[in-house]
Structures are given as structure tokens and as C-alpha cells.
Structure 1
Amino acid sequence: MESQFSRPEFNYVLAALLQEDCYPLAQQLELVRLRAGQMLSEMGQRIHHVHFPTTAVVSMLAVSESGAAIEVAVAGKEGLIGMPVLTGGDSMPYRVEVRCTGLAYRITATAMRDAFMQSAAIRSASLLYVQALLTQVAQVAVCNRHHSLHDQVCRWLLLTLERMHSRELLITQQGIADRLGVRREGVAAAIGRMQDLGLLLTSRGRIALLDRPRLEAMGCECYRVIMREYARLLPPPAGHAAAFAAAAGPRPCHADHGVPLRSCV
């Protein structure tokens, strides 16, 4: 399956806008670097910014009263973080944590709410993403309940690497287990099997993908269902990405330059 997110330097919700639509929004965006492990929002916390990842990958985690957490969705360059701002809310219903270090555009919640109300194009692009995100949440729930841990690990790896536009991931087996809400031993067994089949190459804290087509083929349908919905609702508008970049112009990047872009937790 060929990746539709082929331009990692852009966010596809923003790139879906025509130049006349994106110009007012672009002037209020700032480019920031998000670090792996950084908490963007705790459950119930007021939303101050909406983020549009470009190379960063962000996890949305449901948290129980006991403190146990499980990943219910992930967002990268195909989406945005801060969905309640678009639906009339002002706080996060889940924990939002940066999974993989990278860049994102951000805008204040107030400015995003105003742009959403004033521009039909911004409303359309944002709500199409909301629809795709709901598909992802539902499909992840199906996968976690009905599919094997091996299938869940396949789906998790494919979705993460898709958003990173990379074949290599810096993460521990415990980190994957924490996201899936399972024991590390089960993840280790699944990854060990994939390595034995020549699909992955692993070393301490590092996973390299060797054979993507075979990994997709041996996993469940969930990755394909999720990606097909994103491709249907938010196809990459190649002609508009450059227009958005031109409208945004050179923006300051508030970054920790010592953090490698591919580090993940």
C-alpha cells in the first residue's frame, strides 16, 4: 500500500486549504518542536493551543481512575490536536502526549475557534479530519478487543511509521506495551516473531522495518481500514502545500535543538 502522506514537511489539514483560505490562518501559526514524552494536555485540562503536527507524532490516551492508560488514537501530519475547540468544548477528554519528537504548527485556541467559525473551508477540512479520527478510534477499539496481540503490534508499528515517513523507530518494547495496555513479554514475543520472519531488525531501543508489504499482509485489516478512510477524506492536495508554505512564510521555531527528531517514547 503506497503511503498517501508523501510530503512530511506539511500538515495535510492545513495543506488542504486554498491559498486564499489558508493565508489568514497561516499568519497566526508558529512552528514549534515537540519532544518525545512531552505532555500537551492532561485529561480535563483547558486547551490553550491547537497543534497541527508535521513531523511529530502525538498519542491520545484514555486514563482510568487508577491511572492506567491506553492509547485510543494517534495523530501526525494528517491531523490536528485540540478537536474539542472545533466542537464547542474547551478541555481535553483524554491525555495528550508526544510520542515521537518532531515539529508542529500551533495556534491559540481562541484564534482557531474564530477561524473555524469564519471560514467554511477551514470548517470543512477540520471536520473531515474529525470524521477520519472517529474511524481510527472505533477501529482501534475493534482491534484491541477482537484481534491478537501480534495483530495489534503490527497495526501500531505501521500507523506510527506511516506518520513518521520513516522505516526506523526509536522506542523500547516497554514503550509499545504501555501504549497498547499489555505486558512487555507479549510485545517481545510478537516482535521476535516478526524479526525471525525477516520483517524487522531490532536492537536495544530501536526497530527498523525491512519488509513493509509482508508486514501489512500478515497483520489484520485495521491498518488498511484506517488509512483508507484518511485517504478518502483528506487526500494529499499536492498543488496546495506549497501555497500554504508561502503564506506561512519564515516562522520562528521554538525548539530544543539537542533532541533527535526520531526519538520516541
Structure 2
Amino acid sequence: MQLQQVPIGNRLLASLSADDLARLQPHLEPVSLALRQVLIEPNMPIEHAYFPEQGMSSVTNNSSGGKIEVGVIGQEGMIGLPIVLGIDQTPYEHFMQIPGHGWRIAAHDLEQAMAQSRSLHRHLLRYVQASHVQASETAFANANSDIEARLARWLLMCHDRVDGDDIPLTHEFIAMMLGVRRPGVTVALHVLEGMRVIRAKRGLITVLDREKLEELADEAYGLSETEYSRLMKTEA
């Protein structure tokens, strides 16, 4: 079978075997993903899975104290992981933090494709594991890293999922995602600016020195990214 009947910019789709990609392609629908668009509602049936090519989705725990981010998904992955596990809903909200575009597939069509292909299901389960490691590393960073390291890690994760060095984010949104007060984020951003690692303007952060940003993040960044690369090797 032909590997790509349509151009694929999503890394998870591109890592599938030729047969498994061809199995999904008739069911993939191109979609625009708008800023703040909710793709999965908490505790509601999941109707579609999404494979972003541009943009980034936040996975958040919504409590009485507000939203706290527990995961991010961009062009490396898939929004709708419970489907892979045979589950039809999740307690977490998934919404677009950075707008973009990608592909979507109906949950039923994805379930049928996995039932027909053990290799497809196995490969998507490997991505589930990569996402689990990311969530575990977020918990590790929140417990063991100072706010500058946590901010550096989060900016690196965003940088991994955008084209270029500009990241469209506000101070308020960063504070909400990190679960800290806005003044703390503002101070941390000023520290990073003073080190000439980033430039922050209203609603926009530009990465100036990624290598230094990785040094600041220290052990908070890198393990989940390495695990993703190991697990997502292209199927033969």
C-alpha cells in the first residue's frame, strides 16, 4: 500500500506502518483547531480523536480552584487516548491552547481500525505509555523543581510543538497552566528575560536561547521526550 495518500504532518500518524496509515486515511477528516476550542469535555462521551499538525492542546484538571494542566499534546501525538484503552470518556478537559489544524477520526472508526490491526493498536498503546511518562514527569517537576525550572520546562514543551521560536501565550494563561499565582510567573519570566533566554511581550514569548533554557529546566525536561522518541520508532 502507498505510505501517504494525503500529506501527513502529525508525527504519530507518520510513525505508523504503511498498512496501518492506509487503514486510517479514508476516515481522517481535515479540521481547523481554534484557540480555546474544547475537543473533549470532562465526563462526556468522546466522539472523535484528533491528530494535530499545528497547534497545541492542554489536558487540564478542572477543580473549584481553577484549571491545572496535567499534559500537552501537539503534532507529536493524539487527543483522545481513552479510545485506545477502550474507554469512552475521561475526567480531564482537552482544549486548544495554541490554535492550529490537523486531522480527526470518529471514535467508532478508530475502534474498528484497531480491532482489525493488532499492530495499529499496539503502536497507539506505545503512545499511551509516552503520555503517561509525560504526566509523571509533570508531577515530578511540580514536586521537585522551582518555578523558574518549571517555567523553563513548560516553555520547552511548547517550543517543541510550534513552528519557529514564537509562542503565543499570556502571563495569566501560563500561571493557570502551572498552577501558580500570576506575580510568580511574571517574576520568573523577568528572570529568564534578564538571562537573555527569552523575550516576553504582551501575549507572546520568543525563545532566544534554547540550550540555556534546557540547562535551567535541568532534570525537569528531557526524560519524557527521550522516551517518546524510543517508543515511537516507525513500524516496519
TM range (shorter): over 0.9
Amino acid at match of 2:82: P
The TM-score, its normalising length taken from structure 2, stands at 0.93
Distance in structure 1 (CA, Å) of the matches to 2:123 and 2:90: 21
1:105: Cα distance to partner? 0.6
User: Residues 9 and 55 of structure 1 are in contact (CA less than 8 Å); yes or no, is this contact kept in structure 2?
Assistant: no
Q: Among residues 133, 136, 151, which one is paired with 1:135 in the alignment?
A: 133
Deviations 1:8-66 (A, max 9, x none): 961122111222221121011011010111111221011000101111211100122x2
Q: Structure 1 regions of 5+ residues with no counterpart? A: 1-7, 241-265
The correspondence for 2:74, drawn from 31, 51, 76, is 76
- 1:201-212 equivalent positions in 2, closer than 5 A: 201-212=199-210
The aligned residue for residue 92 of structure 1 is 90
Q: Report the Cα distance in structure 2 between the residues aligned to 1:129 and 1:140, rounded to whole angstroms.
A: 17
Q: Distance in 2 between matches of 1:136 and 1:22?
A: 25
Amino acid at match of 1:61: T
What is the CA deviation profile of residues 108-160 of structure 1, one whole-angstrom value per residue up to 9, with x for unaligned ones?
00000111111122112201100000000011011112211111110110001
Q: Distance in 2 between matches of 1:205 and 1:45?
A: 32
Cα distance in 2 between the residues matched to 1:9 and 1:200: 31
Q: Provide structure 2 residue ranges, at least 5 long, that are not aligned to the other structure.
A: 1-6
**Counterpart residue number, 2:122:** 124
Secondary structure of 2:225's match? helix
List, as ranges, runs of 4+ consecutive aligned residues in structure 1 with deviation greater than 6 Å. Answer: none
> In the alignment, which residue of structure 1 is the partner of 2:52?
53
Q: How many residues align?
A: 230
* Native 8 Å contact 1:41 1:95 kept in 2: yes
Rate the CA distance shift 1:178–1:111 in 2: closer, same or farther, 3 A.
Answer: same
How far residue 67 of structure 1 moved from its aligned partner, in angstroms, is: 5.2
Tell me the amino acid that sits aligned with residue 216 of structure 1. Answer: E
The one-letter amino acid of 2:24's match is: L
8 Å CA contact retained: 1:13, 1:125: no
Q: TM-score, normalised on structure 1?
A: 0.83
Report the identity percentage.
35
Q: What residue in structure 2 maps to residue 29 of structure 1? A: 28
One-letter amino acid matched to 2:11: Y
Q: SS of the counterpart of 1:141?
A: helix
- Greater shift in the superposed pair: 12-21 or 204-213: 12-21
- State the one-letter code of the partner of 1:207: I
Give the AA of the match of 1:33. Answer: S
Q: Choose which of 129, 143, 155 in structure 1 pairs with 2:153.
A: 155
Contact 2:77 2:127 in 1 (8 A): yes
Q: 1:35 is matched by which residue type in structure 2? A: A
